[in-house]
Structures are given as structure tokens and as C-alpha cells.
Structure 1
């Protein structure tokens, strides 16, 4: 029966696609996203072991732009809708690839669970959230870590990282029909007059996608077992261009650091870098220089001071940091409850925080405010442990890229929502989980491996 279904797979997928396209005229973007996700789930179940297996995760490229009501305003429960779609995608991955135990994932879930208990029981008497909000925040915090329980060995490093590297371009492409439908715009012009690429999301979230996609591409270039893929360096260059196009200063800084470390190690330090890695290093150098020359004037304009921030424009972050930090110091041990950061501005209406900043835009303050100092330490420790395990599983240029990404993550967390944005957290956990689950074999350490065809001819 399953064989017959797979044989009819293209017809089933084609029919479902036609039904979705036919309904596109009158149905809301969210409904269409659900229909498309179900279509991808069907393809993943019919074709496990192919690129379709990861297709349900493309929901990441269109959120939160699709979570709108009939009037085009953001949905009150848009975050819940996003979590629901991601849970479906995760379930599909678990069903097709299987489950593998993860100690890091279990530790992260346990830390969030403890914070949930503290929030529900109002330990310390400073909790300022209800049970329903705390439960929703629990799902949001734990969901990315559940992706560590997927058996990434069955998916493989080449297919997994290759999929991550393609997501930024998919977001840009998906933004075109969304703009034609009047849902969003591919480019946005912010208050400073700077144009920013946003694709099917918002500029900052597209920057998250592009940054993780860039890291995935650089790791692919440094892995000997994927030397046969001559297009990998093109994905690296494209993701670098997309990242610069978002004009997101923190993401660009981390991305340029990744590229710089890759170039230095692949061209100057490593004597065993593959030809593909060296070609990618030269291409990234050229593209990076051109992109930064073109983008530099706009980045400078975004950073120019204004009447309320002085000589450097932080887009309201300094006021937001002061406000959320002040709330966090009121209950340093237990925080104010899981999810409190999302309602803090609504409850206390600070006069000096821009309306866009309903979140701290600093994950250290965010974690501290929601769960206290122990929660902050636990979550950062689990993420750094995951970076360490991924770096330990590999050698050479890949290890240096992972280590640089880890340091960049620590710095980026000071200025943006790294732990609370699925476009970043889910993909970082996937990236590191794939690398940790598919370590370099001894014959791949120190020298490029033989071509796939040659390895297949070697007797076992």
C-alpha cells in the first residue's frame, strides 16, 4: 500500500498544489500556510530520505508575515499559530527520521520546566504572569530544543545543512507573491529612510535566516565529504548578500566575522583545505567586499545619532534595556514569570521605549526577567554546550567556523532576540545538532576524502 502511495506521490502532490492555488484568491495567508504545510507533510511522508523530508520546515521563511487577521493586522495569537505549525513540522521529522536521545535537549527542557513550576507556583511572590501565558512561553522556549531529538544521522550533514543554506533565498522568493497579494513587501523603508530587504518576513528575521544559512554553507565548504557539491560556494555568497541587504548591523557583524575566519583558515592556515573550500573563500572575499562597499553608506545612515539617542542610533534599544533591566532587578532570583517580557510594555507602558520594542532585544535581560539568574545561566550553558559538542565533532576550518559562531552568538544576544526568534533558535539548534550527530570520520580528518564513487568501490 505504501509503495502504491509513493508511486502516486507526484499526482497527489500536484492535485493538492492545484487545490491550494485555486483557493489562493479568497483564503487568508494563514490558511494558505496551513494548506501548504499539509502539502509538504504529505510529500515528506511519501518521500522520506529526499529533500521533501525537510520541506515542512519552510514555514520558518514566511512567519510572522502570514499571521494576519482579515483586516491585515497582526493576529493576537500569531505566536501560537507559529508554534503549532512548527510542532507539525517537528512531528513529521520525528516520524520520518526517527528519534535519538539528546542529553543537551533534555537538560534544556528540564531547565524550562523548572522555570514553569516556579512561575505557576509563584515561588518568591514576584511572579506577574498567569498560568496560561507561562504555559505558552514554556512551549516557545522548549520547542527549538526538541529538534535535538530528531535522528539527524538518517538525514545526513549534506542534506541537512544544504536545506538550511537555501532557506534565506526561499524567504525572498516567497515574499514576491505575498507582496502581490498585499500582505507584505520584499523591501521595507524604515524611519531613517534606509531600504531593508525583508523577503516574506521582517528584516531582522530574514537576517537571522541568512546568518544561520551562511554558517551552514561555510561548514559545508569545510567538510571534505561534500566536496562533490560545486554549488555550495554560491549559496555562501548569496546568503552573505541577503544578510547585508537586510541592513541588520548585529547580524552583519557576526556574518563578516564568520567569513573572515573561514577565509583566513582555509587560505592561510590550513594546508589541507579542499579546492572547493579555497574557491569558496575567494568568492566570499570578493562578494563580501562588494556588498559592504554598496551597503556601507546605508549602514552609516542607520547608525547616525538622533534627538533622543545622541551620537549613535540604537533604534531605541538603550531605552528598552533600561526599562527591562529595571524590571529584572525587582526579582533577580526567580524573575517575573515565563512570558512576562512579552507583556511588560503592555502592563507598565514605559514612556521612553519605542512601540516596536515589546521585547528586551537583549536575551540576557530577557532570560533573567522571565526566569531569574539560574534560568539565564542554565539556558546559556546548554546552548554553549551544544556549540562545544558540534565543534568537538569536527576539525580544521569547520571547527573554527563553529567556534566563531559561538562567540558571535554570545555577542549577538546582547542586541537581539536570539533565544526567542524561531528563525534563529530552531535553525541554530538544527545546525549544531546535525554537525554533532554526523562527526568527521578519522579518514576525513586532516585531508579531503576520496570521491563518493571511489569510496563505494573500496571493499568493506
Structure 2
């Protein structure tokens, strides 16, 4: 009893001092730096929730990917670029989730591939004059972090909820975009020089298109995999498809063509087998596609044929960018120019928007050469195969077409290096794998 009393008195002092110092800090901040005070209070709340209910903080982290924070606020905080700070914050918030759920390294090959790229950078790559070690370290951390989301050993019920949140991300972006638009902070629409009007939500159009691409693909898979949530995913399929078309982004639409064709083939086959309940989704899907084409045909024409190019189709400067990066990579084809070097390669020759080539195969060939690019591709294929083996047979064709769509999309955009794609992509692969297991993973197999 005496020991308990002394222990209690011993603990009261440091906690009391902590509360007092915190109160004084926040009080002073409110007077002199109100923004810091608000940020500190929000951070404390998030940390408390992260520790007490870690699964809820994972939902919050997922929802933040619906906003392109670096385009809404282009500066830095505490001397750190805002996008790097965002990635650091989400990792910190997920630490309690990792401690509670543990990590399983079966889906870790991409992390080891990135480590190999990092080694190649310092051991064999021929650096550009603009390249330095800090760029390589920053690129390694930024590109590797999303692959950590492949490792968290979520419980099945949590993974199922996260999948539904992933399907909601484009709609969340649109709702936040409306709020920002009303507040005159960020327009929900953007008009290009061609006259094309594009929806962007709380993002830029290509980033919203990435979220919508994921929302459409996830809905296709989950309609087949989760019959108990069929209505929800049919609704999300329609909404996400409309959002995707409204962004005026051509790459993801082309990438999804095979998946859409197979979907029509599948539900038509089911209907012809006598399952009349498939008639309604079949007809509604046809009406939706016809309406989308009718509404966006003029926009797509403006974006594709407004400017005369050698290819006949306006690819928004991609062919010039690809040629530029391939020419610069030619001096070191096997080991590349170093991880992150693509971000400093544009010497002003190209439009400033081409910080990277808008082609992930060229980007990682540029950074890691044939060796690095092949290692990364093989590591991704290893993950895709592991997830494929865990799926039920009816789901596998949709999953394979989803992966094919990802590989096609990667030819025309930054799928592996944009937060709005790579985090939802890795998160979904992990959730799909965990929720397809017969039971939750045994704790003894979990590395903590």
C-alpha cells in the first residue's frame, strides 16, 4: 500500500509538469501564433485517437489521400516540403496501427527492390550534375513509404471497411472541393487553354482521375467479391465512372477499357443464363456510358485534337518528354542516373510540369537503368501473384484486368510516385489480400 502511494505521488509530479508546460505553450501560441496552436491541438487529438482507437486513425489517413495537399498549399512547414511532411505525418499516425496489428513481410518485395535501387544509386549510377545524395535519400523514403502499407496486418473486418472507404475517396474529394470552392480557396473546375472544362475536386484533374480510376476498378472487383455490399459498390461504380469522365483524363479511361468490356461480357452471360436480376445493371451501365460519352465528347476532342502534332493526337507533350528522358538516360542504360535523378533532369527544355516523365517505365529506367527497372517490375509482379492466389476463382479475371489496367496506365502517368494513386493502390492490394484469407493471420506469424 505504501509503495502504491509513493508510486502515485512520484508519477503525479512529471504528469502535472507536462500538463502545465503544454497549457503554457498552447496559451502563448494562441496569442502569438494562432495557427501553430490550432495545429498543435489537432495533432494532440489525432495522437490520442491513434493510440486509443488505431483502426479509426487508419480511416482518417485514407481519407486524407483524397486531397492533393501539395497543390492546395505549395509552401513548406518547419523547413520541410509540405508533401514530405504529409508523408511523415501519416507514417507517425499509423505507428499505433502497426504496433497493434503487426507487420507481415510476405508482400514486401517492392521495398527490397527500392533498397536495391538505392544501393545501385550510390554504387554504380552515373549521376547528373544536378544530382546529390540528399535527393537520392529523399526519393528512396518517398517512393518506399507507400509500400509499407502492403505490410500492415489488418484484421479482416477492418480491411473490409477500408476497401469501402477507398471506393468513396473520389466522392470525398468532390465534397471537399465544393467546400473549398465556396470558400474561394480552390476552384472545383479548371479550364485549359484548349477550352476543355475539367472537374478537379480538391485535387488537380489528373489526381482526381487517379482516385476515380481506383474507385471504378475496386467497385468492379468488389461487386463480384462482396455480394453483401453489391448495392453500395454499384452506386460507387456509377459515381466514380462519372467523376472519372468529368476529369477529362484520357489515360485511365483507356486503361479501363478491357475491364469494362469483360464486365459487360460477364453480366450479359449471367443474364442469358436466366438470371434476370442482371438486366437492370446491364441496361443502367449502357445508359451511363452513352450519357458519359455524349457529355464529354467535345472535351475529349478539344484535349486530343486541338493542337496539331506529328502523332495526330495531342498527348500533352508526353512524346517530347519521353524522348528527352530517354536521351538523357542513354549515358547509363544499365544502372541509371540515380534514384530521384528524374526529378532534377528537366533543365527547362521541357514544360515545367514534367518534373518526371509521366511514364513510370521510363522514370525507373532513368533512375535505376535496366537493372533497377526490371527489379522493381519483378517485385511488383511477385506481389500481384501472391494476391491473385488468395482470391476466389470468380474474382480472379477482374483482378487480372485491374492489374493490366494499372500496367497500361503506368505508360502515361506517374502511378508509382503520386500519393493519390500509389497509396490507395498499395492499401487496396493489402486489404484485398488480408480480407481474402480464410481467417485472420495467426499472431505468432506477425513480426512486431
Structure 1-normalised TM-score? 0.79
Say which SS state the counterpart of residue 188 (structure 1) adopts: strand
Partner deviation per Cα, 1:249-304 (whole Å, 9 max, x = no partner): 01122234323322322331699999987755554333222112211221111100
Q: Structure 2 CA distance, aligned partners of 1:335 and 1:236? A: 40
Q: 2:125, 2:368 within 8 Å by CA — same for their partners in 1?
A: no
Q: Deviation of residue 379 (structure 1)?
A: 1.3
Q: 2:261 aligns to what?
A: 260
Answering whether residue 106 of structure 2 is matched by residue 103 of structure 1, we say yes
Task: Give the Å deviation of 1:215.
Answer: 1.5
Specify whether residues 223 and 48 from structure 1 end up closer, same or farther in structure 2 by C-alpha distance, changes over 3 A only. Answer: same
d(CA) in 1 for partners of 2:415, 2:114: 16
Q: Equivalent residue for 2:318?
A: 317
Match status 1:371 vs 2:372:
no
1:61 shift after superposition: 1.4
Aligned to 2:195: 193
> In structure 2, the residue corresponding to 1:61 is in which secondary structure?
coil
Q: CA deviation at 1:38?
A: 6.2
**For each residue in 1:173-219, what CA deviation from the matched residue of structure 2 results, as whole angstroms up to 9, or x when unmatched?**
11123234443211111121111111111110111111111122222
Q: Which runs of 5+ in 2 are unaligned?
A: 1-25, 440-448
Quote the offset at 1:163 in angstroms. 0.9
Q: Tell me, what secondary structure is at the counterpart of 1:331?
A: coil
- Go from structure 1 to structure 2 and tell me whether the alpha carbon gap of 1:403 and 1:324 turns closer, same or farther (over 3 Å shift): same
Larger radius of gyration between Structure 1 and Structure 2: 2
Q: Matched residues in 1 for 2:438 and 2:282: separation?
A: 24
| Kept after mapping to 1: 8 A contact 2:271/2:277 | no
Q: CA deviation at 1:221?
A: 0.9
Alpha-carbon shift at residue 142 of structure 1 (Å): 0.8
How much does 1:242 deviate? 0.7
Do the aligned residues in 2 keep the contact of 1:165 with 1:212 (CA within 8 Å)?
A: yes
Contact 2:58/2:94 (<8 A) preserved: no
> Residues of 2 paired with 1:262 and 1:397: CA distance?
12
Aligned 8 A contact 1:210 1:240 in 2: yes
Q: Which residue of 1 aligns with 2:414?
A: 417
| Compared CA separation, residues 260 and 440, structure 1 to 2 (3 A) | farther
1:120 and 2:122 are equivalent in the alignment:
yes
On the 8 A contact 1:33/1:66 being kept in 2, the answer is no
Distance 1:99 1:297, change over 3 A: same
CA offset at residue 31 of structure 1?
Answer: 9.7
Work out whether residues 54 and 94 of structure 2, in 8 Å CA contact, stay in contact via their aligned partners in 1.
Answer: no
Partners of 1:39 and 1:238 in 2: CA distance: 33
Question: Quick check: 2:190–2:200 contact (8 Å CA) kept in 1?
Answer: yes
Partner residue, 2:72: 66
How many positions carry a matched residue from both structures?
406
User: Partner of 1:7 in structure 2?
Assistant: none
How far 1:371 sits from its partner (Å)? 1.2
Aligned partner of 2:82 among 78, 82, 85: 78
Q: Equivalents in 2 of 1:166, 1:27: separation in Å?
A: 33
State the Cα distance separating 1:397 from its structure 2 match: 4.3
**1:318 Cα deviation after fit:** 1.1
What TM-score does the superposition give when structure 2 sets the normalisation length? Answer: 0.81
Q: Which runs of 5+ in 1 are unaligned?
A: 1-18, 443-460
Alpha-carbon distance change, 287 to 341 in structure 1, aligned in 2, over 3 angstroms:
same
Determine the structure 2 residue equivalent to 1:9: none
Q: CA deviation at 1:92?
A: 4.5
* SS, match of residue 428 in structure 2: helix
The 1-side partners of 2:361 and 2:437 are apart by 33
Structure 1 distance, partners of 2:357, 2:382, is 24
Deviation at 1:91, TM superposition (A): 2.4
Q: Please state how far the C-alpha of 1:67 moved relative to its aligned partner.
A: 2.9
Give matches, 1:48-447, under 5 Å. Answer: 48=54, 53-63=58-68, 64-69=70-75, 77-96=81-100, 98-105=101-108, 107-121=109-123, 123-126=124-127, 128=129, 129-224=131-226, 226-228=227-229, 230-268=231-269, 280=281, 282-307=283-308, 311-345=312-346, 348-350=347-349, 353-439=350-436
Instruction: Tell me which residue corresponds to 2:12.
Output: none
